[in-house]
Amino acid sequence: MSNEKKTDTVSGALETDASSAASMMKKEPEEVKSPWPGPKGMIPVTSGRADDANVHNRAYLDNILVEMRVIDAVEPDLTTTIFGKKYASPLTLAALSHLNKVLPDKSRKPMQEKVATAKKMNVLNWIGMESNEDYREIVRDAGDTVRIVKPYADHEQIIGELRLAEELGAVAVGMDIDHVPGENGKYDVVDGIPLGPITFNDLEEYVKATRLPFVVKGVLSVRDAVKARDAGFDAYKALALGADAVLIGRGILPELLNDGQKGVEDKLVKLNEQLSQMMLYTGIKDTRSFDPTVLHFN
């Protein structure tokens, strides 16, 4: 390539970059197009922008290096105890919501398909925002379930949902405490139902309303990672950092919506294989033996 050509190429690139930068300064951030079916907002989408905590969460996990310890390593046992009950894996199916409303094919029930997957594979299943009527139908033939309720403005609705979950055999209940503000800076409204503030005294009241373990849900963790393709390896890092279990949400969502129960089963098998591989590489024999000293922060 001639010097003249090189100069033209470089200057052209500089002009393009400068133009792009100026354009970026003038334009408002574009809204992220949802990859999911259903009405806008039915399945939340992370923005991927610099102010999105999920991006920082992703970067944090990617900066954790894992030390190999293969001498004396044995094939690991993934059996895990959660809420005093034994499961085949520490990977659990996260609290998704409203999925029975999003597909054009109304004969399919993704929420029940997810329930069936968890029961068949002996993993804990979490269920998010559903009416009492829908929740009752979803868990009709469920295995172990955790019901997560929203911070409704109507506190009696919260208590009613918690007590119904206990009545129908849930192993635990909890609340999405981070889902209070809406995009307009006011209390959010979800599916036509207003949400409201939650005080510490409120939480105490909810805990006392049921005899079940109560989960305060909403702290960002591996379940919020933008990239889910290596969720089994991410799960290893979370467990080594001290987590008792990991919720897999967006990591199974495409498989659930596209391929139903079989798709989620196949994905969960893959994630468990990834987790088991990392445990074998690092000499972790079971889920009670995770050692944080194998982690190194880059």
Residue 11 has pLDDT above 80, yes or no: no
Among 217, 226, 266, 268, residue whose Cα is nearest residue 250: 226
Mean pLDDT across the chain: 80
pLDDT (mean) for 143-169: 96
Contact call for residues 117 and 268 (beta carbons, < 8 A): yes
Here the tokens at position 269 are: 């098998």
Here the tokens at position 163 are: 């007590």
Show the domains of the chain with their CATH numbers. 3-46 (no CATH), 56-297 (3.20.20.70)
pLDDT at residue 295, rounded to an integer: 78
Q: Whole-model pTM?
A: 0.76
Residue 168 has pLDDT above 60, yes or no: yes
pLDDT at residue 25, rounded to an integer: 39
pLDDT (mean) for 224-234: 42
Residue 53 has pLDDT above 70, yes or no: no
* Residue 297's pLDDT band (cuts 50, 70, 90): confident
Q: What is the pLDDT of residues 57-79, one digit of tens each?
A: 667 667 777 788 888 888 999 99
Single-letter amino acid code for the residue at 8: D
CA separation for the pair 172, 124 (Å, rounded): 10
3-class DSSP string for the chain: CCHHHHHHHHHHHHHHHHHHHHHHHHCCCCCCCCCCCCCCCCCCCCCCCCCCHHHHHHHHHHCEEECCCCCCCCCCECCEEECCEEECCCEEEEEECCHHHCCCCCCCCHHHHHHHHHHHHCCCEEECCCCHHHHHHHCCCCCCEEEEECCECCHHHHHHHHHHHHHCCCCEEEEECCCCECCCCCECEECCEEECCCCHHHHHHHHHCCCCCEEEECCCCHHHCCCCCCHHHHHHHHHHCCCCCEEECCCCHHHHHHHHHHHHHHHHHHHHHHHHHHHHHCCCCECCCCCHHHEEEC
Residue 87 has pLDDT above 60, yes or no: yes
Residue 16 has pLDDT above 60, yes or no: no
pLDDT at residue 179, rounded to an integer: 79
Residue 104 has pLDDT above 80, yes or no: yes
CA separation for the pair 216, 199 (Å, rounded): 12
Among 172, 253, 184, 175, residue whose Cα is nearest residue 211: 172
pLDDT at residue 66, rounded to an integer: 79
Contact call for residues 173 and 162 (beta carbons, < 8 A): yes
Cβ atoms within 10 A of the Cβ of 49, count?
A: 11
pLDDT (mean) for 2-10: 38
pLDDT at residue 169, rounded to an integer: 97
Which residue has 């889902």 as its token pair?
A: 179
Q: What is the pLDDT of residues 249-274, one digit of tens each?
A: 888 999 999 999 999 999 999 999 99
Residue 2 has pLDDT above 90, yes or no: no
Residue 113 has pLDDT above 80, yes or no: yes
* Residue 233's pLDDT band (cuts 50, 70, 90): low
CA separation for the pair 32, 134 (Å, rounded): 30
CA separation for the pair 145, 239 (Å, rounded): 21
pLDDT (mean) for 34-54: 58
Higher pLDDT, 51 or 127: 127
